[in-house]
Amino acid sequence: MSSLVAALDASIEALLPELERIYQDLHRHPEPSMQEVRTAGIAADWLAAHGYEVTRGVGGTGVVGLLRNGVGPTVMLRADMDALPVVEATGLPYASTVTAKDEDGIEVGVAHACGHDLHVTWLMGATRLLAEHRDRWKGTVLAVFQPGEEVGRGAQGMMDAGMAERFPQPEVILGQHVMVGEAGTVGYRSGTILSAGDSLKVKLFGRGSHGSQPQTAIDPVIMAASATLRLQTIVSREIAPIDSAVLTVGALQAGTKENIIPDDATLKLNIRTYDEGVREHMLSAVKRICCAECAASNAERDPEFTTLSSYPLTENDAQATARVVAAFKAQFGERAYETAPAAASEDFSVFGRTWKVPYVFWFVGGTDPAIYAEARAKGKINAIPSNHSPKFAPVLPRTLKTGLQAMLSAAAAWIAGAGAQG
């Protein structure tokens, strides 16, 4: 176990009840992407109360806290803050009942169905403990509360707001994510751990008419339906079996009434890849197929393509990961394990890519151990409500404690060593 975390063990236990209350409050009050005003305020006030230099409004609602503690490495710790447009169905006593307007002006439910409320709580806990035990480490902690991860704009927005010029360059950037997995465990991986993700909106243009006169129309519903089916052949017929890729059409929107052929239809689709060549091929194939379906229908206009979000690969640095893994093995023993890459995507790597410094990202299990064991025994792990499910609900307090220990252990691999030398 890390000497820093071992020294903080009693403090971690004492802090957990307060952190659980903070987590439940954040869970009750989720905020949409790029609108995290309340959450950012809570994080900023917390940092200020514990002696951090605080900068608010970085790239929108982003918050940066800086704690200088002598000569040593600068370590960046990151948490994302935004919630999802989901109506919560967990039945928890602190479940969200919040609604808000999305970017299209549509009223939607809002819920922390991805666990970012837990990420914020973890970082709040870690920053407080590091501030209260400065005698145990040396260096600088850069705490980053990031907006807009779910729309892929938050990390880039913060970097575009001058983070590289305004704050010390970190030696390493560390981040974590709660996922389906036995609570109390931590999953690590060197190299690619998360896929690249691209979301597109494709608008197909037809010609509207009365449902009784299809010969006078160019039916965009047919175009959209045909394109949806054909798009599924990209992975099955154009990508080699040894390569991994996913293409999902998550929305097909057209028309308002059963006897009116509409003027247009819209597809919203998501692509996940682990190789840049595969990614480029799939993006090109989507455009080729949609354009071809429109041509086959004699559409008078080419489709319109809009990028909704784009996430780069998350590729953990090998040397930095080895350092984190050693810390995890010392802290968790067999509860730290090597995980397979996930088909989820993150904008976390934008910080490391832009700063050109190593980064490490890992998973923290959030599923009740008994539920996970039963599901695994029955071969039904996929039936456990996962991230983005309206029923996603990490179990407390074990998940809270493990994530806090993981973040502190990883940070200690750099700053506690500096303290020992100083």
pLDDT tens, residue by residue, 79-105 = 999 999 999 999 999 999 999 988 778
Neighbours of 6 (CB within 10 A): 14
Residues 245 and 274: their CA atoms lie apart, in Å, by 7
Q: At residue 296, does pLDDT exceed 70? A: yes
Residue with more model confidence, 173 or 419: 173
State the first-to-last Cα distance of the chain, in angstroms, to the nearest integer: 21
- Residues β-bridged to residue 174: 77, 360
Phi, psi of 97 (to 5 degrees): -120, 15
Amino acid code (one letter) for 69: N
Residue 4: pLDDT band with limits 50, 70, 90: confident
Cβ–Cβ < 8 Å for 360, 411 = no
Work out the average pLDDT over 327-339. Answer: 97
Residue 209: pLDDT band with limits 50, 70, 90: very high
| Token pair listed for 100 | 């808000």
| Token pair listed for 339 | 């995980």
Q: At residue 412, does pLDDT exceed 50? A: yes
- In this structure, the dihedral spanned by the alpha carbons of residues 161, 165, 166 and 171, taken in order and rounded to 10 degrees, is 110
Report helix angle 220-231 to 276-296, nearest 10: 150
349-373 burial by CB neighbour count: b if 16+ within 10 A, else e?
bbbbbebebbbbbbbbbbbbeeebe
Q: Whose structure tokens read 């060549």?
A: 277
The predicted structure's pLDDT at residue 104: 79
Cβ–Cβ < 8 Å for 388, 43 = no
Q: At residue 421, does pLDDT exceed 60? A: no
For 234, residues 6+ apart whose C-beta sits below 8 A from its C-beta are: 245, 247, 282, 285, 286, 289
Cβ–Cβ < 8 Å for 110, 31 = yes
Residue with more model confidence, 106 or 252: 252
pLDDT, tens only, 243-275: 999 999 999 999 999 999 999 999 999 999 999
* Strands laid side by side in the 172-182 sheet: 53-58, 62-69, 139-146, 74-80, 172-182, 359-367, 186-188, 336-338
Residues 384 and 401: their CA atoms lie apart, in Å, by 21
Share of the chain above pLDDT 90, in %: 94
pLDDT, tens only, 341-365: 999 999 999 999 999 999 999 999 9
Amino acid code (one letter) for 46: W
The predicted structure's pLDDT at residue 36: 98
CATH 3.40.630.10 segments of the chain = 3-194+313-421
For 355, residues 6+ apart whose C-beta sits below 8 A from its C-beta are: 159, 164, 169, 170, 173
The SS3 assignment for 413 reads helix
Cβ–Cβ < 8 Å for 86, 365 = no
What DSSP string runs through 216-239? G-B-HHHHHHHHHHHHTHIIIIIS
Which residues form the catalytic set?
80, 150
Helix (H) or strand (E) run with residue 261 in it: strand 260-261
Work out the average pLDDT over 183-199. Answer: 97
Amino acid code (one letter) for 321: T
Work out the average pLDDT over 287-291. Answer: 98
CATH 1.10.260.40 fits domain 3-194+313-421: no
H helix runs in 253-307, sequence order: 276-296
Cβ–Cβ < 8 Å for 357, 170 = yes
Pairing of β 245-254 and β 139-146: unpaired
pLDDT, tens only, 27-84: 999 999 999 999 999 999 999 999 999 999 999 999 999 999 999 999 999 999 999 9
Neighbours of 118 (CB within 10 A): 25
CATH 3.30.70.360 segments of the chain = 196-310
Q: Which of 19, 129, 38 is nearest to 81 (CA)?
A: 38
pLDDT, tens only, 357-409: 999 999 999 999 999 999 999 999 999 999 999 999 999 999 999 999 999 99
Residues 222 and 297: their CA atoms lie apart, in Å, by 8
The SS3 assignment for 337 reads strand
The domain at 196-310 falls in which architecture?
Answer: 2-Layer Sandwich (3.30)
Residue 2: pLDDT band with limits 50, 70, 90: low
Q: At residue 8, does pLDDT exceed 90? A: no
| Token pair listed for 408 | 């502190």
The predicted structure's pLDDT at residue 418: 55
